[in-house]
């Protein structure tokens, strides 16, 4: 017997037929003797519709009252939780739905992107043991304790709900059922020879997710890492009855690195074309300049990613390059131009047709020269590297966007990630 959390996203609960399919997945695990808490998203498209209604209700140029925005958005998950409970009962599975405030799932006050602070799993555990009751929990929502208002966790937040519930009920595993059957070494649409990973360490997944692999909300991985919740990404489209609940189905386990026997040097490659590069030429090389540049950018809520500064050659001026998300590019330029007097520079150069390629692997900690191999391989294909940053388990390269696919494929083969051809 195991205790499981099963999380189903919007496409898996898109209509009543699919909800019934989800119920069959749940029944399979219950029949196998497991204790189950299910976490559901809103039916696909519903949250977008709710957002659109909020926007339509507001005159232009006015801001949402975030508390009401959350009151509206949370309802999408309420509907699916109730419907799945009905469907399970219809299959003679004992089930009860729970909204976030009923457990409760307590969160911070940051409406629309609240953080989970505490989940009370006691009542769920009592019902597992006393009534063999399945808990069906509305994802994405919580309760702010002081104000008693409903909060939501940010788009994609039911992944995070699921991991938080798993931690609270001490689940053996948190299964994330989704429309892909696991985490891949890179995007299979770009590299057809991308492989599904059997296991990936929390830290690696955190990098992959932050860098744009959209399998899981980043915060859910953070939470899994903190509470050591084993997260298993698997497909919700496999026929429920074809799966043996006692064996390992296909999917990717996100776990502590101690559970990974064979540590690959490189586990995955992420890339993003939504980057822009800004270079500030001939800035004064004196204390306070970086602060004068990055202070105003931070105040404008612009996330700066790669930062590269040259060592001065004349002792007076230097060049400084950094990247920002493409969506913030114009605002970043405005901020820097406005701060020109405070910074003191000669010229701004910038580019939006750039891409960031990141190579990730915990094995890099114990292997030297991993990045050097990449530089050589890309040089052979005459891909120019504009900027490089490195950290313990990853390095990122900024290149011309036109070479994205070539670079990703080259590195994917270079590090032995290609799947064997059949
Ligand atoms: N329904 C919410 C959204 O679309 C939360 C989720 O699906 O994870 O963002
Ligand atoms: Mg999702």
121 ligand 1 Cβ < 6 A: no
Element (H, E) at 293: helix 289-299
Find out whether 134 and 28 touch, Cβ atoms under 8 Å: no
* pLDDT tier at 210, thresholds 50, 70, 90: confident
Q: What is the spatial distance between Cα 397 and Cα 348, in angstroms, rounded to a whole number? A: 21
Beta bridge partners of residue 284, listed in sequence order: 317
Residues with Cβ within 5 Å of ion ligand 2? 9, 156
80 ligand 1 Cβ < 6 A: no
* pLDDT tier at 135, thresholds 50, 70, 90: very high
The percentage of the chain sitting over the pLDDT mark of 70, rounded to a whole number, equals 99
Query: From ligand 2's centre to the CA of 151, what distance in Å?
Result: 18
Find out whether 152 and 219 touch, Cβ atoms under 8 Å: no
Which of 158, 177, 220 has most ligand 1 atoms within 8 Å of CB, for mutation? 158
pTM of whole model > 0.85? yes
* pLDDT of 213 over the 90 cut: no
Copy the structure tokens of residue 166.
């798993």
Find out whether 220 and 232 touch, Cβ atoms under 8 Å: no
CA nearest to 272, candidates 301, 306, 296: 306
Query: From ligand 1's centre to the CA of 149, what distance in Å?
Result: 19
* Index of the ligand 1 atom closest to the CA of residue 48: 4
Q: Give the list of residues 6+ apart from residue 59 with CB closer than 8 angstroms, or none.
A: none
Query: From ligand 1's centre to the CA of 138, what distance in Å?
Result: 10
Copy the structure tokens of residue 182.
């696991």
The distance from CA 262 to its chain's CA centroid, rounded to whole angstroms, is 25
* pLDDT of 422 over the 60 cut: no
CA nearest to 151, candidates 72, 83, 98, 218: 72
The structure tokens 């985490």 sit at 183
Query: From ligand 1's centre to the CA of 152, what distance in Å?
Result: 9
pLDDT digits 0-9 by tens, 339-362 = 999 999 999 999 999 999 999 999
Which of 155, 159, 214, 236 has most ligand 1 atoms within 8 Å of CB, for mutation? 155
Element (H, E) at 197: none
* pLDDT tier at 420, thresholds 50, 70, 90: confident
pLDDT digits 0-9 by tens, 17-74 = 999 999 999 999 999 999 999 999 999 999 999 999 999 998 877 788 999 999 999 9
The structure tokens 């500064």 sit at 309
8 ligand 1 Cβ < 6 A: no
Query: From ligand 1's centre to the CA of 139, what distance in Å?
Result: 8
Find out whether 236 and 252 touch, Cβ atoms under 8 Å: no
CA distances from 239 to 204, 235, 322 (A): 30, 10, 48
Q: Cα Rg for the chain, rounded, in angstroms?
A: 24
Q: Given this model, what pLDDT does residue 61 score?
A: 74
Which of 78, 139, 174, 219 has most ligand 1 atoms within 8 Å of CB, for mutation? 139
Ligand nearest to the CA of 209: 2
Find out whether 81 and 102 touch, Cβ atoms under 8 Å: no
pLDDT digits 0-9 by tens, 214-253 = 789 999 999 999 999 999 999 998 888 888 888 878 999 9
Which of 42, 45, 69, 163 has most ligand 1 atoms within 8 Å of CB, for mutation? 42
pLDDT digits 0-9 by tens, 359-403 = 999 999 989 899 999 999 999 999 999 999 999 999 999 999 999
Q: Given this model, what pLDDT does residue 177 score?
A: 96
Query: From ligand 2's centre to the CA of 350, what distance in Å?
Result: 34
């Amino acid at each position: 017997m195991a205790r499981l959390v099963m999380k189903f996203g919007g496409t898996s609960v898109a209509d009543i037929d699919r909800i019934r399919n989800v119920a069959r997945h749940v029944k399979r695990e219950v029949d196998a003797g497991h204790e189950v808490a299910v976490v559901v998203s809103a039916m696909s498209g519903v949250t977008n519709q709710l957002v659109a209604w909020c926007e339509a209700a507001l005159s232009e140029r006015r801001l949402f009252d975030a508390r009401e925005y959350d009151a509206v958005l949370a309802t999408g998950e309420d509907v699916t939780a109730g419907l799945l409970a009905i469907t399970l009962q219809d299959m003679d599975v004992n089930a009860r739905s729970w909204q976030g405030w009923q457990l409760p799932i307590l969160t911070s006050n940051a409406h629309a992107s609240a953080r989970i602070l505490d989940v009370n799993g006691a009542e769920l555990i009592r019902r597992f043991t006393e009534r063999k009751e399945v808990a069906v929990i509305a994802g994405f929502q919580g309760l702010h304790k002081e104000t008693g208002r409903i909060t939501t966790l940010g788009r994609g937040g039911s992944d995070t709900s699921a991991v938080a519930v798993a931690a609270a009920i001490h689940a053996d595993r948190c299964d994330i059922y989704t429309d892909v059957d696991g985490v891949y070494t890179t995007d299979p649409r770009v590299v057809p020879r991308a492989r599904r990973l059997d296991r990936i360490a929390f830290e690696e997944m955190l990098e992959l997710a932050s860098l744009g692999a959209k399998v899981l909300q980043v915060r859910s991985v953070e939470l899994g890492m903190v509470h050591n919740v084993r997260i298993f990404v698997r497909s919700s489209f496999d026929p429920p009855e074809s799966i043996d609940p006692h064996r390992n189905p296909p999917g990717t386990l996100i776990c502590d690195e101690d559970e990974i026997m064979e540590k690959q040097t490189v586990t995955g490659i992420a890339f993003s074309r939504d980057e822009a590069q800004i270079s500030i030429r001939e800035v004064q090389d004196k204390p306070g300049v970086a602060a004068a540049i990055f202070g105003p950018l931070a105040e404008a809520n612009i996330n700066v990613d790669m930062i590269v500064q040259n060592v001065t050659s004349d002792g007076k001026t230097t060049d400084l390059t950094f990247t920002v998300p493409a969506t913030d590019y114009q605002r970043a330029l405005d901020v820097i131009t406005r701060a020109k007097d405070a910074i003191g520079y000669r010229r701004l150069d910038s580019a939006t047709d750039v891409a960031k390629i990141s190579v990730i692997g915990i094995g890099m900690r114990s292997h030297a020269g991993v990045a050097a191999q990449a530089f050589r391989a890309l040089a052979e294909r005459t891909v120019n590297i504009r900027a490089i940053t490195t950290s313990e388990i990853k390095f990122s390269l900024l290149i011309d966007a036109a070479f994205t696919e070539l670079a990703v494929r080259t590195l994917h083969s270079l590090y032995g990630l290609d799947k064997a051809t059949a």
